[in-house]
Amino acid sequence: MNLPMRRTLVPVAAMFAVQTASSTGSLTLATMMPVVAPDVGIDARLVASFAAIAYGCAAIAAFLTGDIVGRFGTVRVCQACLLATAAGLLLLPIATPWALVAGMTVVGFSMGPLNAASAHVLARRVPPAWYSTAFTIKQSGVPIGFAVAGLVVPSLTAWLAWRGAAVSVAAGIAATALLLQFLFAELESDAPQVSRRGLLEPMKLIFRHRQLRALSLAGLLYVTAQHTFTFVIVTYLVQRCGMPLIEAGAILSASQIGGAIVRVLLGGLADHLRERFIMLGMLGFTMACGAFATGAISPDWPWLLIAAAALVYGISAVSWNGVSMGEIVRWSSPGTAASATSATTAVIFSGAVVGPVTFTLILRATDSYATGFTVIALAAVIAGSWQLYEGWKLRTQSSPLGGEVAPQAPERAGGQGTAE
């Protein structure tokens, strides 16, 4: 492998592995919740509340990430996050409600810094023309990790019981953190010094910049739909359709694998066509259709029809993130990729709090999954419409050769057409 290619591929592969391990840990409790809940003495439908705890903590951690990455470097931050994820999972076998809360709190804080850490290394190693593809591959670690959890954790639960499954996943994540040490010199050799910013500066950066604001707030609504699906679908299929845990986990896994494949395809297509906002908008409307169909599932539907509805929702809900993350870095001015990514991640992760909590409240008030999924579908329509509007505005500013105008970040081009 020649040096320029290795310089790009090694960090992409390393960050993909980190994201996969972290995501596997974050979904472990959700994929075994139907058997954990009776053992602990709680309602299995509280699975969405535990997701909200995790992502609320992740949003807080992401908000504080920029200086952490600059001070300790990508590898050390990633290693610390993975070891914290493993520690959080090791709290679950205590098998009390407070142990589950504590475990998911630790897991949540460990997720927050990862997007900024990966942006810090990829922004300086990957050519800008490949941003959508590179960040899509890296972000595909999320659905792949969810797929691993959906496939492996139910089987480990059947084999080792749920406590043994939690410990086994924790051991695998800790091993990934240790293996990352072999890449320390390569990933950190040319790391630039990151200037310290005020606590609120990253948020000011994204909210005074039109494209970053749209990507952040639409992403908040998209992740509301995404993580409602991810954390609820197994319990929903088991309770609503009487589906065995392993079958429900397999559907979750298939949606995540399909989403990962579509993510990579969309990333390459986005770099080729440059219609990224329009692509993101179309995904929002597909997501809405899938969410509505999933809410309409009836126990007497054929198994294939149930799976098809869940897969349309799951695949579309997973597919947006890589293109969006690449756009966030693309529209960030030089030297602000980690700060902008940490701020947008904090905003987006808050959707993973709002979505599951709102879904749980709707479910408790109406005892209707269909109502909850309909609200999620409306959120996806709003976000999709906003992205399509931004895409249309960029088209009207396009050059005679076609395609979107080049990003004009505030510090890079005086805010022309972007900062407000």
Q: What is the pLDDT along the chain (420 residues), one digit of tens a residue?
A: 555 566 678 888 889 999 999 999 998 998 888 889 898 888 877 777 787 888 888 888 877 766 677 677 778 889 999 999 999 999 999 989 999 999 999 999 999 888 878 877 787 777 777 777 787 788 788 888 888 888 889 889 989 999 999 999 999 999 999 998 888 777 766 555 555 555 566 677 777 778 888 888 999 999 899 888 887 888 889 888 888 888 888 898 888 888 888 888 887 787 776 778 888 999 999 999 999 999 999 888 999 999 999 999 999 998 887 788 778 877 776 666 667 777 887 888 788 788 877 888 898 888 888 999 999 999 999 999 999 998 888 877 754 333 444 454 433 333 334 444
CA atoms within 13 A on the CB side of 128: 12
User: Any idea what the CATH number is for the domain that residue 13 is in?
Assistant: 1.20.1250.20
Element (H, E) at 215: helix 210-241
Amino acid making up residue 2:
N
Provide the β-strand partners of residue 419. 209
- CA 127 → CA 4, 71, 134, 380, 407, distances in Å? 10, 24, 9, 31, 15
Q: Closest Cα partner for 112 from 71, 70, 56, 166?
A: 56
Burial of 159 (0-12, 13-18, 19+ CB in 10 A): exposed
Q: What burial letters (b/e) apply to 314-328, b meaning 16+ CB within 10 Å?
A: bbbbbbbbbbbbbbb
Question: 77 in a domain, yes or no?
Answer: yes
Q: If you count them, how many residues does the chain have?
A: 420
Q: Which backbone phi and psi does 19 adopt, to 5 degrees?
A: -65, -40
Predicted pLDDT of residue 289: 95
Question: 337 in a domain, yes or no?
Answer: yes
Question: 153 in a domain, yes or no?
Answer: yes
Contact of 275 with 391, CB cutoff 8 Å: yes
Question: 420 in a domain, yes or no?
Answer: no
Element (H, E) at 244: none
Question: 243 in a domain, yes or no?
Answer: yes
- Give the structural domain span for 43: 3-188+197-413
Q: How far apart are CA 249 and CA 233, in angstroms?
A: 9
Q: How far apart are CA 355 and CA 310, in angstroms?
A: 17
Burial of 140 (0-12, 13-18, 19+ CB in 10 A): buried
Q: CB-based contacts of 347: which residues, under 8 Å, 6+ apart?
A: 59, 206, 216, 217, 219, 220
Q: How far apart are CA 82 and CA 396, in angstroms?
A: 44
Predicted pLDDT of residue 191: 54
Question: 15 in a domain, yes or no?
Answer: yes
Question: 106 in a domain, yes or no?
Answer: yes
Q: Closest Cα partner for 313 from 378, 225, 219?
A: 225
Contact of 146 with 27, CB cutoff 8 Å: yes
Instruction: Give the Cα-Cα-Cα angle 271, 23, 297 (nearest 5 degrees).
Output: 85
Give residue 41's region: left, alpha or beta (phi > 0; psi -120 to 50): left
Predicted pLDDT of residue 2: 52
**Nearest-10 crossing angle of helices 276-295, 321-331:** 150
Q: How far apart are CA 397 and CA 150, in angstroms?
A: 44
- The number of distinct structural domains making up the chain is 1
Contact of 148 with 24, CB cutoff 8 Å: yes
User: Whose structure tokens read 């009776």?
Assistant: 38
Question: 10 in a domain, yes or no?
Answer: yes
- Enter the pTM of the model: 0.71
Amino acid making up residue 107:
V
Predicted pLDDT of residue 331: 78
